[in-house]
Amino acid sequence: MERQNLDPQEIWQAAKGALQLQMTRANFDEWVKDARLLTAEENSFIVGVPNFYVRDWLQARLHPMIKRTLEGIVGHAVELRYTVQQKPHRTKELAPGPNMLWPDNGGSDKLPQGIVLNPRYTFERFIVGSGNRMAHAAALAIAERPGYTYNPLFLHGGVGLGKTHLLQAVGHEAMRRGYKILYVSSETFTNDLINAIRTQSTAAFRERYRTVDVLLIDDIQFIAGKETTQEEFFHTFNTLYAANKQICITSDRHPREMVSLQERLVSRFQGGILTDVRPPDYETRLAILRARAGDVQIPFPEEVLDFVARKVETNIRELEGAFNRLVAHARLDKAPLAVEVAAEILRDIAPVIPTVIDPAQLIRVVARHYSLSEDDLKGPSRSRQIVTARHIAMFLLREETSLSLPQIGQLLGGRDHTTVMHGYNKIKNALLQDSALQHQIMRIQQILQQRVPAME
Ligand code: ADP
Ligand code: MG
């Protein structure tokens, strides 16, 4: 969808709105809030930021997200650059924001201060479903009684499935109960350690990491191959463990699958509870979308949420990304999104799941494809050609819509569900060998998804 008629400043504001939803408050305030659109010509945007530090950070860390967000709004590829626009009256401390990975800052002696958890990553806002039920239960048990139930908790699973969210939820809950917590990524741990060694402040480093009640280490896989870090982490682990302090770890893989991880760490990681998070099922995805729609206080038609939940299947981060694009549009349009519009906005998201297909339309398309009438398909004729077309309609109705077998039978002239099942199986089996049939079915599917015009 082209949106060239929009005022570039409005586009940028919408992009900032969408970014705000994708980032922690602290990060947004630190990096994006003060960024201003300087010029926009054709598809090229130039954004002004207060200093070189922010510019480099945006370029190095946030560029893909910002670009993607902008493109989601304008509906086509854009070029995006950042430039420093000095504002001498507003001096800002050039320190990284809280809760960020500590960047290579070449020279700073300080350890990162003020660990701030993402305020959204709480148990209350975590939707429990089939893929994460175990992980959630274990995390909750630990947050309520750190150090006593399972130690360590080792949570693993693919990207965007809620590991960081759960880990931080443990942090929020334990903190609420008065425990001292520390949340870091394993990269931060490594960088802190390197800085401590360089500045001869390992005592302070140990003080920091070994005096907490709950140590939360995110993305431990990054310590693979780093011998010094593993050594230090092993001792940190043992000290905490011996003192009944809780250790929680996330990883993108099972400890056994981590190459170049010392065997003694592998066995420590398996000594408590080990659980995985798996991709969300449809119900979980829909529940997450409903919750997010409630957060942003924009009314989304149920069918739009259903559409997104069906389309984005693999991970929750992408689900949220897709949803945020719709939010940005809804804010601009100031009207509830139609499902067709949502489909258009999200059309570049793979895999392309067929848009909701109207069963009546499907029957029409099949009839026309075989030069028959709809009544032929619905009627009693047993002619070979008509029977085959009818079976194809049954097959496609079952594959392409969510209708039940009896409902399909009803639509095709009141046939019963065993007849529909029989027709469906006939086509399914025939498809295994009959390439002409494969071709026809594919063609009809394409017409249904409106990727090619119907043949007259
Ligand atoms: P991971 O660390 O596994 O890559 P994250 O914890 O960063 O994934 O989750 C990605 C996004 O999805 C976050 O915004 C998070 O809040 C959200 N999310 C993940 N799982 C859930 C859930 N079960 N309920 C609500 N939001 C979730
Ligand atoms: Mg994570």
Q: What is the pLDDT of residue 351?
A: 53
- pLDDT value for 450: 65
pLDDT in tens, 102-117: 222 232 333 333 457 8
| Residue nearest atom 25 of ligand 1, based on CA coordinates | 126
144-171 pLDDT per residue, tens: 999 988 899 999 999 899 999 999 999 9
Whole-number pLDDT of residue 106: 32
Confidence of residue 83 (pLDDT cuts 50, 70, 90): confident
pLDDT in tens, 262-273: 999 999 999 999
C-alpha–C-alpha distance, residues 9 and 27, integer Å: 22
Is 144 strand, coil or helix?
A: helix
* 234 neighbors 204 (Cβ within 8 angstroms): no
User: What mean pLDDT do residues 333-339 have?
Assistant: 82
Distance 269 CA to ligand 1 centre (A): 23
* pLDDT at residue 355 tops 80: no
Q: Is the pLDDT of residue 199 over 60?
A: yes
User: Could you identify the atom of ligand 1 that is nearest to the CA of residue 157?
Assistant: 3
pLDDT surpassing 90 at residue 135: yes
Identify the pLDDT of residue 332: 83
Q: Which residues are found with C-beta within 5 Å of the ion, ligand 2? A: 163-164
Q: How far apart are CA 80 and CA 39, in angstroms?
A: 10
Is the shortest distance between the CB of 164 and ligand 1 below 6 Å?
Answer: yes
372 Rama class: left (phi>0) / alpha (psi -120 to 50) / beta: beta
pLDDT (average), residues 316-345: 88
> What's the CA gap between 363 and 361, in Å, rounded?
5
Q: What is the pTM of this model?
A: 0.59
Q: Tell me the residue type at 307.
A: F
- Say how far apart CA 117 and CA 99 lie, in whole Å: 7
Q: Tell me which of 316, 320, 327 to substitute to probe ligand 1's pocket, judged by most ligand atoms within 8 Å of the beta carbon.
A: 316
Cα dist from 224 to 209, 219, 231, 254, 450, whole Å: 19, 11, 11, 12, 48
**How far does Cα 25 stand from its chain's mean position?**
18
